């Protein structure tokens, strides 16, 4: 079931800003890919982008509110994309700590997902952010309809690991808030780009030792307020430009 009244307005505005900036960074995939945000205690009701709407046009009022426990959602007049329902619905049903879920096919993360070894080694500070904090899915099973979504949800057993490199597919990032997850998504794409470009040189990589990589990851996890400041600044830029994202 989808709900048409515009509840949870601040959350809608944050999510709409994330869509707009993802498009600006060319991390979108046309009218595919999806973000979602849980809005009830157990996470089974969530906001999500409308079916086949470009990220660059999404407004706060456009977002659907969906019940992950109601399969009739897909037969309604305002039904979401079935792959979005399959992937995001499964995550919100089974992984309550994944309040916000962002899935994209951004180019560098997808290149990483296409390698035989999709590990992101800690070759710089951004890469070290994700040291021992990713899940690598090596069992791509086709489009993310409900069965594929359920399979991916079973892999999310460690709340410390908030990035899933979806082999042969793309990336999924989860967390508690839009600001947290967008910030993580942004920096993973940056880290993946650094690694892919380093590989392109053909020269040996300078990989950080375990102790320093883990220390860096912990320090960045505890770094105060960077995610909220990041999103606030992006919204301020959109506001100054006269964007209608918050309508």
- Give DSSP secondary structure letters for 182-239: HHHHHHHHHHHHHHHHHHHHTSPP-PPPHHHHHHHHHHHHT-TTHHHHHHHHHHHHHH
Please list the residues that pair with 174 across neighbouring strands: 101
- The answer as to whether 246 is a domain residue is no
Q: Could you tell me the pTM of the whole model?
A: 0.94
Per-residue tokens: 6 = 């515009």
How is residue 97 annotated by DSSP?
A: T
Crossing angle of helices 178-201/9-24, nearest 10°? 20
pLDDT of residue 242: 98
pLDDT of residue 26: 96
Residues in the chain: 247
- Which CATH number covers residue 55? 3.40.225.10
pLDDT of residue 144: 62
- The answer as to whether 200 is a domain residue is yes
Per-residue tokens: 56 = 């660059």
3-state secondary structure (DSSP) of residue 145 = coil
pLDDT of residue 3: 43
Radius of gyration of the chain measured on its C-alpha atoms: 18
Query: Using CA atoms, how far apart are residues 197 and 168, in angstroms rounded to an integer?
Result: 19
Contact 246, 62 (CB under 8 A): no
- The answer as to whether 245 is a domain residue is no
Domain span at residue 210? 2-240
pLDDT of residue 195: 98
Please list the residues that pair with 165 across neighbouring strands: 136, 171
Residue whose token pair is 């995550």 = 91
- The answer as to whether 236 is a domain residue is yes
- The answer as to whether 146 is a domain residue is yes
- The answer as to whether 30 is a domain residue is yes
3-state secondary structure (DSSP) of residue 136 = strand
| Number of structural domains the chain divides into | 1
pLDDT tens per residue across all 247 residues of the chain: 444 457 899 999 999 999 999 999 999 998 989 999 999 999 899 999 999 999 999 999 999 999 988 888 877 777 788 888 889 999 999 999 999 999 999 999 999 999 999 999 999 999 999 999 999 999 887 776 668 889 999 999 999 999 999 999 999 999 999 999 999 999 999 999 999 999 999 999 999 999 999 999 999 998 889 999 999 999 999 999 999 999 9
Per-residue tokens: 152 = 């991916």
Q: Phi-psi category of 63—alpha, beta or left, where left has phi over 0 and alpha has psi -120 to 50? A: beta
- The answer as to whether 247 is a domain residue is no
Instruction: Answer positive or negative: Cα dihedral of 29, 66, 146, 177.
Output: positive
């Amino acid at each position: 079931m989808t709900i048409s009244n515009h509840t949870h307005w601040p959350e809608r505005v944050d999510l709409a800003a994330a869509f707009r900036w993802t498009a600006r960074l060319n991390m979108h995939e046309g009218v595919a890919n999806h973000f979602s945000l849980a809005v009830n205690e157990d996470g089974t009701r969530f906001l999500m982008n409308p079916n086949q709407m470009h990220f660059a046009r999404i407004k706060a009022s456009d977002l659907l509110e969906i019940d992950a426990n109601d399969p009739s959602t897909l037969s309604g007049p305002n039904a979401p994309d079935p792959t979005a329902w399959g992937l995001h619905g499964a995550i919100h049903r089974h992984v309550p700590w994944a309040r916000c879920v962002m899935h994209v096919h951004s180019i560098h993360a997808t290149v990483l997902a296409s390698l035989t070894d999709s590990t992101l080694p800690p070759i710089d500070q951004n890469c070290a952010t994700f040291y021992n904090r990713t899940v690598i899915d090596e069992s791509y099973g086709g489009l993310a309809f409900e069965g594929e979504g359920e399979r991916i949800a079973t892999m999310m057993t460690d709340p410390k690991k908030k990035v899933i490199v979806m082999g042969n597919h793309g990336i999924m990032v989860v967390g508690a808030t839009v600001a947290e997850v967008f910030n993580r998504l942004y920096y993973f794409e940056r880290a993946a780009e650094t690694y892919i470009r380093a590989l392109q040189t053909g020269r040996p990589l300078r990989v950080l030792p375990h102790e320093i990589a883990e220390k860096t990851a912990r320090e960045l996890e505890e770094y105060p307020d960077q995610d909220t400041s990041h999103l606030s600044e992006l919204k301020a830029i959109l506001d100054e430009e006269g964007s209608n994202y918050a309508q």
